[in-house]
Amino acid sequence: MILDNVSKAFGEDWERETVVENLSLTVKRNQLTAIVGPSGCGKSTIVNLLAGFELPDEGTITLDGKPVTGPSKSSLVVFQETALMPWLTTYQNVVFGPELRGDMPKNELKAAADKIIETVGLREFRDKYPLQLSGGMQRRAELARALINQPVVMIMDEPFRGLDAMTRQLMQEFYLRLCEQEARTNVFVTSELEEAIILADSIVVLSNKPTSVREVLQIDLPRPRNLDMLSSPEAYEYKRQAMEILHEEAMKSFKGAGTNSDFLEAYSRRA
């Protein structure tokens, strides 16, 4: 997937605000690209552009050489908030998309759903409803619902946000294993640098709004990975580089908002 000089603004002409400006990015096939950036810089807008929910005002977005003109099963999003339908079981949620489109024979769909539900560790919960599942199980069910559509690009929009610390760590470990087994093309948006470092092949660091790509860090930690690698000197150096850039961009945001100079000085010393 290629974004070429993409810009996007919102609002009426007299108060139009540019959120994304001249952003260029290549999402490499069969790799996980993590996206981090200052709070409010426009990460969710980029997710919507990648998924075709929004179209750029300028520039182009292409997937396998074809322009992205709207939502499709080729680029699916797992959002921050659960989107499981509460009146459907795990199995029914997983097969909902293919059944609605009618693009898979029933026997093939059942076999594919059973395999994916097994892969995400929910075989014993296939007939349970979302409210009967823990937060981590709901996340896995949403992954299964996306995976069954065999998307070209899987887009994860801070999918583990809101989970308690232990469940979040377990989901990071689970998703890490899944990505290494499946070798899919992933875009993973997160506000957690350590999460980005342990999962990603590359980390895209965004600028302050209007956002563009400030830096791309290649993560050369060996695979298979585990969370213990976060204590390595290499991981620390990746985190230091990203934090330095994010700190600079955050300071621009504070200055642009006219934040008190005493606060800026204290924030700078803290960082």
Share of the chain above pLDDT 70, in %: 93
pLDDT, tens only, 238-259: 999 999 999 888 887 666 555 5
Give the mean pLDDT of the chain.
Answer: 88
Instruction: Tell me the C-alpha distance between 258 and 63, whole Å.
Output: 40
Instruction: Tell me the C-alpha distance between 165 and 123, whole Å.
Output: 25
Three-state SS string across the chain, please?
CEEEEEEEEECCHHHCEEEEEEEEEECCCCCEEEEECCCCCCHHHHHHHHHCCCCCCEEEEEECCEECCCCECCEEEECCCCCCCCCCCHHHHHHHHHHHHCCCCHHHHHHHHHHHHHHCCCHHHCCCCHHHCCHHHHHHHHHHHHHCCCCCEEEEECCCCCCCHHHHHHHHHHHHHHHHHHCCEEEEECCCHHHHHHHCCEEEEECCCCECEEEEEECCCCCCCCHHHHHCHHHHHHHHHHHHHHHHHHHHHHHHCCCCHHHHHHHHHHC
Instruction: Tell me the C-alpha distance between 97 and 116, whole Å.
Output: 14
Q: Is the pLDDT of residue 262 over 60?
A: no
Residues 6+ apart with CB under 8 A from 32: 179, 186, 187, 188, 199, 200, 201
User: 168 falls in which pLDDT band (50, 70, 90)?
Assistant: confident
Cβ atoms within 10 A of the Cβ of 45, count?
Answer: 20
**The two structure tokens encoding residue 128:** 């349970």
The pLDDT score that the predictor gives to residue 102 is 86
User: 233 falls in which pLDDT band (50, 70, 90)?
Assistant: very high
Instruction: Tell me the C-alpha distance between 92 and 86, whole Å.
Output: 10
Instruction: Tell me the C-alpha distance between 27 and 184, whole Å.
Output: 11
User: 177 falls in which pLDDT band (50, 70, 90)?
Assistant: confident
More confidently predicted of 171 and 27:
27
The pLDDT score that the predictor gives to residue 232 is 95
Q: Is the pLDDT of residue 266 over 80?
A: no
The pLDDT score that the predictor gives to residue 265 is 55
Cβ atoms within 10 A of the Cβ of 266, count?
Answer: 11
**Could you report how far apart the first and last alpha carbons of the chain are, in Å?**
35
Task: Find the radius of gyration of the CA atoms of the chain.
Answer: 20
Domain boundaries, the chain: 2-74+151-270
pLDDT, tens only, 15-42: 889 999 999 999 999 999 999 998 888 9
Instruction: Tell me the C-alpha distance between 104 and 108, whole Å.
Output: 6
Q: Is the pLDDT of residue 180 over 50?
A: yes
User: 267 falls in which pLDDT band (50, 70, 90)?
Assistant: very low
The pLDDT score that the predictor gives to residue 192 is 92
Q: Is the pLDDT of residue 271 over 50?
A: no
CB 208 within 8 A of CB 250: yes
The pLDDT score that the predictor gives to residue 263 is 43
The pLDDT score that the predictor gives to residue 165 is 86
Q: Quick one: average pLDDT of 212-219?
A: 95
Annotation: CATH topology of 2-74+151-270: Rossmann fold (3.40.50)
| Residue 152 exposed, middle or buried by CB count within 10 Å (0-12, 13-18, 19+) | middle
User: 147 falls in which pLDDT band (50, 70, 90)?
Assistant: confident
